[in-house]
Structure 1
Amino acid sequence: MKRLLILILISILLMSINTFHANTVTPIKHVIIIIEENHSFDNLFGTYPFGYPPIINNITLSVMWPDGLYNNYTQLEGTKNGVLSWISVPTIPWFPLSYSHPYYANAYDTTDPSEGWTEYHGDYWFGKPIGFIFYSGPQSMAYFSYQQTGILWDYAEEYALADAYFSPVLGLTEPNRVAYLTGFSPNFYSDEAYNVLPFNETIMYQLEKYNISWGYFVYNLNGTPWPLNAFTGINMVHIYDLSEFFKDLKNNSLPSVSWVMFLGGSSDAYDMHPPYNITAGEIELAKVINAIMESDYWNSSVIFITFDEGGGYYDHITPPAINYYGLGQRIPLLIISPYAKEGYVDNYTISGYTLLAFIDYNWHLPWLTNYVKNSDIQGLLNAFNFSSKPRPPIILSPSNWTYPIPLQYPIHYGYIAVVNSDYKSYAEVYPVPSLQYLLPFEIIGIALIVVKKKLLRPIGILLLLIVLGISIYYYNFYNLYSFIAEYYVYSSLIGVLGGTALLVKGRKR
């Protein structure tokens, strides 16, 4: 009898350990994270909720307005051809003689802006958003409106939109998508990293450890989906084709945490990466959201829809620096849930790490990393009203997704949720005062070389060698400033070679 009692107590203890984390802090029992590709906040929501040509009615005047490309909708009313002339970006950031302005794309796609670690830091030229045209190209100034983004705008109007949400890394897709899963910035910059991080550093491993179910669903799955091949020891048991997600919804077997990806399979036609048709991507996105809303899971779910990075599209808010790698560019975050505030704009400074914080917070888990811990979970929770009854779903279809759709309940905000951008940029956190001396050194060096005095040429060459050495160092070992260091490398090298040739030629005489 005593032995039986002990066995019963042990069983109860084990059951309590396994089921403790099934109890959530909020009514949310299912988190669905959808990460699309390469669009900045201003590119997709810069003129929301009015757009171009502006729609001024009771709906657009009632929702909250984000910190976008206008200060008052009357500016949009006076716009000619969709060009926002009150915002000017120089063609060359260090030689501002000509300027360009954000312009309405008037198309369902654009040419892909130039991408990369170097380009993105150049876009935010020494902490100011004045390098986009030179580094990411003139197409970076395009913005979309309700004609192309009507579905996304409908969701923003009916649920919550974050306008101070940043990608983890000021860099390319793979570092960002890896950071979305690990809670820290990886130490690589390219999209070609394989087997570089252990799977046990991911949020998925943490979920497994605490017996919380998860699934990673990929459109047209074909083998290990990119970029999960950046991890060693990944458990493919939880990786599925997107079709399984729809089956799970119908069979009442949806995991607690799900990632839905239109990237990583044999086709990425709907990931919204330029030059793909963004509206086609929205339609596929709506199919996923509708399936959740029509399922038994709607009343216990939140859907986070965001992007991995800004893709080189213009955004006027300079990202805050929390470490050497980021944060990255400001991107949209839609918060869709029966508990999300209607027509609301969350302007707390949050990031991709905050999505991980929501998971840890909601399931009583230890913080995955300090970046997750310090990512302002309370700022994200501000987008919800968990004391209210769950709102009924709003199913979007071709019959009703013309923008704007009627509000579900009466609201009246009618003001801009201004982003509090008093944080420091990478240029302030990681300054390089020596860069300011390179230009005068180079000018003096070239001047000493071209003058017809043989004794001065060696001094000029020496100055250019100093410039060359410093710029090579910054380009290779302090690459936050590779966007400017690379030009000093080329120009000083040409100067050294030219000066040496002149020096040799002069001595032969």
Structure 2
Amino acid sequence: MFVRSKRRLPLAAGLGAALIAAVAVPAVALGHDQGAPTSTPIKHLVVIFQENVSFDHYFATYPNAANTAGEPRFTAAAGTPTVNGLNAPLAAPNNPNSTQPFRLGRDQAQTCDQDHSYTDEQKAVDSGLMDKVVETVGRGGATCADYGHGKGLVMGYYDGNTVTGMWNYAQHYAMSDNSFGTVYGPSTPGALNLVSGQTHGFSADGDAVPAASGTVIGDPQPAGDKCDTRDTSTSTDSKNKNVGDLLNAKGVSWGWFQGGFADCKATHKDVGGASSADYIAHHEPFQYYKSTQNLQHTPPASVQEIGHNGPANHQYDLTDFWASVDHGSMPAVSYLKAAAYQDGHAGYSTPLDEQHFLVDTINRLQKSKDWKNTAVVISYDDSDGWYDHQVSPVVNQSNDTAHDGLTADKTCGTNPARIAGGYQDRCGYGPRLPLLVISPYAKQNFVDHTTTDQSSILKFVEDNWKTDPIGNYSFDEKAGSLDNLFDFHRKNKALYLDPASGQPVKH
């Protein structure tokens, strides 16, 4: 596979170190599949982009579950690798935080949303000590479910008796325990980094996009989106591009598919009874760029248009994705965004609702004619503030004392040479997040330790479809490779799960 060369990056003193590594993969015959030429046998990439989960929040004790009575059991296969989780030195009673990590049961799926702002997430790191999580990002109270933990709820985690489907996918396919948010902060920076590796060069919008930096650190709505006309921002730097621009230039079919895109008023309740609008505008990154906007949510003129140029401009409802799959014309690159009640975001979604979406989606994809050359990547936009013990490597600094807070002097490093492009407020990497690859070509029961981030998915697209890089100091220049999650010389059998229990079922 074509792999762009990389360099080793110096890291901020006292904050840990990591090597951004790529793993070379031998050349593989491409076969006779139709469509744009690729560097691997992967002809279809489906990125399921979920919400607000840290790695430890779902995988702290993997592969060991408590197996409490009345919950779906999980028993790891022999030879299952361990992960960088909450081992003895960091488990209760030895954790440095004021509340010790604790297990949340399946009956505690509905929880409060935590603080996941750009500045407070840095403060939680406390110069690498990782001991101020409760005080800086913890939330609880009478208006949401905290189960008596108050701000200490932020230290809670689930195991394989609740996120059973995720643990079973990890058993059968490949996962990473060393993948990070590209920068600190909430949903919109994560979504923008997924598609561009770049959060700089946007119109100012109060605290969400500080005028001094022009960098997105909060959740502005995309300007002009008919579903939400509150505080807004849009890309203003003429050098800014996203992956859709790159794919259009190569003639590769692609699309963003989001629940509720076709109906701004559509709502659902999660299993805990919380109601939310299906479509959340600031979760849709392509709406921030003039070249890829569909601000009026115009539907495609036909199923044949889906993935190609037309009135919808590559922005669609989730139902359009399945129309293309059923028609036998699934785009080469597809980004799926669940309706809010199924996206995993604490406060209005739960791990159980999320599991239904993931399992229903993957079960259906595995039955499609294109599964033989498809890879599904499950990834997340941010951590929600949920505790994760791993200190993130600092690959890009920022010296904005009004908004940074990684160190005591309110910076994220002060070396101008390590502030890419001179663009402030891109302190990263941010918190560690789950990342799984589900594919016939995914390694089986494998844990990858390669340092990656959200823009590593962008880099995979660039390398597999041989596009140009984004440019303009995008994080794709630094991104580690996803290649080690794959084995292109053998195929993995499909795994079907029950969407309610997350346990394997016969097919």
Structure 1 pair 291/398, CA: closer, same or farther in 2 (3 Å)? closer
Structure 1 pair 66/164, CA: closer, same or farther in 2 (3 Å)? same
Give the TM-score normalised by the residue count of structure 1.
0.67
Residue in structure 1 matched with residue 234 of structure 2 by the alignment: 195
Partner SS state of residue 357, structure 2: helix
| Counterpart code for 1:162 | S
- In 2, the alpha carbon distance for the partners of 1:407 and 1:165 equals 32
Q: Which runs of 5+ in 2 are unaligned?
A: 1-32, 139-151, 201-214, 221-231, 265-278, 295-311, 399-425
Residue in structure 1 matched with residue 96 of structure 2 by the alignment: 89
Residue in structure 2 matched with residue 162 of structure 1 by the alignment: 176
Residue in structure 1 matched with residue 166 of structure 2 by the alignment: 152
Q: Does 1:307 align with 2:380?
A: yes
Residue in structure 2 matched with residue 322 of structure 1 by the alignment: 395
Partner SS state of residue 89, structure 1: coil
| Counterpart code for 1:64 | P
Partner SS state of residue 123, structure 1: helix
Partner SS state of residue 42, structure 1: helix
The CA deviation at 1:244 is 1.4
Residue in structure 2 matched with residue 490 of structure 1 by the alignment: none
Partner SS state of residue 128, structure 2: coil
Residue in structure 1 matched with residue 103 of structure 2 by the alignment: 104
Q: Does 1:333 align with 2:435?
A: yes
Q: Does 1:231 align with 2:289?
A: yes
Match for residue 62 of structure 1 among 79, 99, 119: 79
Match for residue 453 of structure 2 among 338, 347, 351: 351
The CA deviation at 1:393 is 1.4
Deviations along 1:457-477, whole A, 9 cap, x unmatched? xxxxxxxxxxxxxxxxxxxxx
Indicate if the aligned counterparts of 1:171 and 1:189 stay in contact, CA closer than 8 A.
yes
Partner SS state of residue 440, structure 2: coil
Match for residue 216 of structure 1 among 256, 260, 271: 256
Partner SS state of residue 338, structure 1: coil
Q: Which structure is larger by alpha-carbon Rg, 1 or 2?
A: 1
Residue in structure 1 matched with residue 492 of structure 2 by the alignment: 391
Indicate if the aligned counterparts of 1:40 and 1:309 stay in contact, CA closer than 8 A.
yes
Partner SS state of residue 76, structure 2: helix
The CA deviation at 1:374 is 2.7
- In 2, the alpha carbon distance for the partners of 1:159 and 1:329 equals 23
Most deviating of 190-199 and 26-35: 190-199
- Larger relative contact order (Cα-Cα within 8 Å, sequence gap ≥ 6): 2
Residue in structure 1 matched with residue 117 of structure 2 by the alignment: 116
The CA deviation at 1:232 is 2.7
CA RMSD in angstroms comes to: 2.7
Deviations along 1:26-84, whole A, 9 cap, x unmatched? 1000001111111100001111111224999973442111100125xxx9xxxxxxx94
| Counterpart code for 1:88 | N
Structure 1 pair 26/85, CA: closer, same or farther in 2 (3 Å)? same
Match for residue 368 of structure 2 among 275, 280, 295: 295
Indicate if the aligned counterparts of 1:108 and 1:279 stay in contact, CA closer than 8 A.
yes
The CA deviation at 1:128 is 2.3
Deviations along 1:61-120, whole A, 9 cap, x unmatched? 42111100125xxx9xxxxxxx94144233xxxxxxxx3210011211321112211210
- In 2, the alpha carbon distance for the partners of 1:342 and 1:283 equals 23
Deviations along 1:305-334, whole A, 9 cap, x unmatched? 011011101001111112132111100001
| Counterpart mapping for 1:30-45 below 5 A | 30-45=44-59
| Counterpart mapping for 1:405-424 below 5 A | 405=504
- In 2, the alpha carbon distance for the partners of 1:362 and 1:250 equals 25
Percent of residue pairs bearing the same amino acid type: 26
Deviations along 1:479-500, whole A, 9 cap, x unmatched? xxxxxxxxxxxxxxxxxxxxxx
- In 1, the alpha carbon distance for the partners of 2:74 and 2:182 equals 36
| Counterpart code for 1:189 | I
Partner SS state of residue 148, structure 1: coil
| Counterpart code for 2:496 | I
Indicate if the aligned counterparts of 1:159 and 1:342 stay in contact, CA closer than 8 A.
yes
Residue in structure 2 matched with residue 372 of structure 1 by the alignment: 476
| Counterpart code for 1:270 | Q
Deviations along 1:393-418, whole A, 9 cap, x unmatched? 1121259733xx5999xxxxxxxxxx
| Counterpart code for 2:242 | T
Partner SS state of residue 457, structure 2: helix
Q: Which runs of 5+ in 1 are unaligned?
A: 1-18, 76-82, 91-98, 409-509
Residue in structure 2 matched with residue 252 of structure 1 by the alignment: 328
Residue in structure 2 matched with residue 271 of structure 1 by the alignment: 343
Indicate if the aligned counterparts of 1:114 and 1:136 stay in contact, CA closer than 8 A.
yes
- In 1, the alpha carbon distance for the partners of 2:112 and 2:75 equals 35
Q: Does 1:28 align with 2:67?
A: no
Partner SS state of residue 342, structure 2: coil
| Counterpart code for 2:55 | F
Residue in structure 2 matched with residue 464 of structure 1 by the alignment: none
Partner SS state of residue 31, structure 1: strand
Most deviating of 107-116 and 365-374: 365-374
Indicate if the aligned counterparts of 1:34 and 1:261 stay in contact, CA closer than 8 A.
yes
- In 1, the alpha carbon distance for the partners of 2:198 and 2:444 equals 32
Structure 1 pair 20/292, CA: closer, same or farther in 2 (3 Å)? closer
- Name the structure where helix makes up a greater proportion of residues: 1
Indicate if the aligned counterparts of 1:50 and 1:56 stay in contact, CA closer than 8 A.
no
Indicate if the aligned counterparts of 1:357 and 1:372 stay in contact, CA closer than 8 A.
yes
Indicate if the aligned counterparts of 1:31 and 1:257 stay in contact, CA closer than 8 A.
yes
The CA deviation at 1:20 is 12
| Counterpart code for 1:251 | H
Indicate if the aligned counterparts of 2:73 and 2:161 stay in contact, CA closer than 8 A.
no
Deviations along 1:168-218, whole A, 9 cap, x unmatched? 111111111111111223312120142234696100011001100101111
- In 1, the alpha carbon distance for the partners of 2:49 and 2:460 equals 16
Deviations along 1:206-239, whole A, 9 cap, x unmatched? 1001100101111121469433332234243211
Partner SS state of residue 485, structure 2: coil
Residue in structure 1 matched with residue 359 of structure 2 by the alignment: 286
Indicate if the aligned counterparts of 2:379 and 2:434 stay in contact, CA closer than 8 A.
yes
Residue in structure 2 matched with residue 433 of structure 1 by the alignment: none
Deviations along 1:115-141, whole A, 9 cap, x unmatched? 211210111011221110111121110
- In 2, the alpha carbon distance for the partners of 1:312 and 1:320 equals 17
- In 2, the alpha carbon distance for the partners of 1:336 and 1:116 equals 30
